[in-house]
């Protein structure tokens, strides 16, 4: 699918992978509508040309519908949705203070899994309204899992469950949406140098970099963004979760 001239929705666009993706898509001629929480939108710095940020919580049906209505009002034809919004708090099933907090588990699943699903279903509805291209394609959804979906570390139980859910939806979503000419592809990044990772000290980050097979460094947000642009342009990629991890296989801790 052509990026230039299309409209894209990118969630989590105020930071990290979402911000890099929004910038990369805009640089290739897309009109990008980024969604993020209102406090993140308020704190965002200057945006690249072609990127607009809208405040919306991905878990909230009305807020996502409102954002899609803003696109419609601009006359933008949505072709692409990229789900980057996510959270990664850590807690063990059983820790010193007792069992994993159930509300925390619920919150992680709500943002990472339900939020991704909510945006996917509403974006698919919007994409399905437009005419297909000469190949019968109307657009696509790119979701973000994590290699924690396959080998979550100690303390990642809620995160791993949520990301396994995202990976697990992929082929079913591609099958559900095939009749509308909409592809669904998931990216499972390894460790990417974003604000989500900034909380870890230099020593931990160096240790993480050393654990990567090759190249022995953290991935760059721009590398995730480049993969998204490749997926958009590659019409035969569908229903698959692609690892982007430098051959890293996570150790237990």
Ligand X SMILES: NC(=O)c1ccc[n+]([C@@H]2O[C@H](COP(=O)([O-])OP(=O)(O)OC[C@H]3O[C@@H](n4cnc5c(N)ncnc54)[C@H](O)[C@@H]3O)[C@@H](O)[C@H]2O)c1
- Whose structure tokens read 């919007």? 126
Site track for ligand X across 67-86, x = CB under 6 A: -----------------xxx
Question: What is the Cα–Cα distance from 210 to 216, expressed in whole angstroms?
Answer: 6
Cβ atoms of 78 and 7 within 8 Å: the answer is yes
> To the nearest whole angstrom, how small is the minimum distance from the Cβ of residue 134 to ligand X?
33
List the one residue out of 110, 65, 56, 103 whose CA is nearest residue 87: 110
Question: Considering beta carbons, is residue 41 or 237 the nearer one to ligand X?
Answer: 41
> To the nearest whole angstrom, how small is the minimum distance from the Cβ of residue 247 to ligand X?
15
Question: Considering beta carbons, is residue 21 or 31 the nearer one to ligand X?
Answer: 21
Q: Does residue number 34 form part of the binding site for ligand X (CB under 6 A)? A: no
Q: Does residue number 118 form part of the binding site for ligand X (CB under 6 A)? A: no
- Whose structure tokens read 């919580």? 57
Question: What is the Cα–Cα distance from 114 to 123, expressed in whole angstroms?
Answer: 14
Q: Which of 8, 9, 17, 174 binds ligand X (CB under 6 A)?
A: 17
Question: Considering beta carbons, is residue 140 or 228 the nearer one to ligand X?
Answer: 228
Which helix (H) or strand (E) covers residue 189, if one does? strand 182-189
Site track for ligand X across 187-206, x = CB under 6 A: --x-xx-xxxx---------
Q: Does residue number 40 form part of the binding site for ligand X (CB under 6 A)? A: yes
> To the nearest whole angstrom, how small is the minimum distance from the Cβ of residue 250 to ligand X?
11
Question: What is the Cα–Cα distance from 146 to 232, expressed in whole angstroms?
Answer: 19
Question: What is the Cα–Cα distance from 68 to 88, expressed in whole angstroms?
Answer: 26
- CA 156 distance to own-chain centroid: 18
* Neighbouring C-beta atoms of residue 74, cutoff 10 Å: 12
Any catalytic annotation for residue 224? no
From 2-10, 33-41, 209-217, 227-235, span contacting ligand X (CB under 6 A):
33-41
Question: What is the Cα–Cα distance from 249 to 63, expressed in whole angstroms?
Answer: 37
Q: Does residue number 185 form part of the binding site for ligand X (CB under 6 A)? A: no
Q: Which of 9, 21, 25, 36 binds ligand X (CB under 6 A)?
A: 36
Paired strand residues for 184: 141
Query: Which residues does the annotation mark as catalytic?
Result: 159
**Binding stretches for ligand X (CB under 6 A):** 11-12, 14-18, 35-37, 40, 57-59, 84-88, 111, 115, 144, 146, 189, 191-192, 194-197
């Amino acid at each position: 699918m052509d990026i230039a001239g299309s409209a894209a929705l990118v969630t989590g666009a105020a930071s990290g992978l979402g911000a890099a993706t929004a910038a990369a898509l805009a640089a290739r001629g897309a009109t990008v509508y980024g969604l993020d929480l209102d406090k993140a939108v308020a704190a965002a710095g200057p945006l690249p040309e072609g990127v607009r940020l809208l405040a919306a919580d991905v878990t909230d049906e009305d807020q996502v519908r409102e954002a899609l209505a803003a696109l419609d009002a601009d006359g933008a034809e949505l072709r692409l949705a990229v789900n980057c919004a996510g959270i990664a708090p850590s807690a063990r099933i059983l820790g010193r203070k007792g069992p994993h907090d159930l509300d925390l588990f619920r919150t992680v699943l709500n943002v990472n899994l339900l939020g991704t699903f909510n945006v996917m279903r509403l974006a698919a509805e919007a994409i399905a309204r437009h005419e297909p291209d000469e190949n019968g394609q109307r657009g696509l959804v790119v979701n973000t899992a994590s290699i924690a979906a396959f080998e979550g570390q100690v303390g990642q139980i809620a995160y791993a469950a949520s990301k396994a859910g995202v990976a697990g939806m992929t082929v079913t979503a591609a099958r559900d949406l095939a009749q509308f000419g909409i592809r669904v592809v998931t990216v499972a990044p390894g460790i990417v140098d974003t604000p989500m990772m900034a909380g870890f000290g230099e020593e931990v980050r160096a240790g993480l970099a050393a654990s990567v097979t090759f190249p022995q460094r953290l991935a760059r947000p721009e590398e995730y963004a480049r993969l998204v642009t490749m997926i958009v342009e590659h019409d035969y990629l569908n229903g698959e979760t692609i690892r982007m991890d430098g051959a890293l296989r996570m150790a237990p801790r």
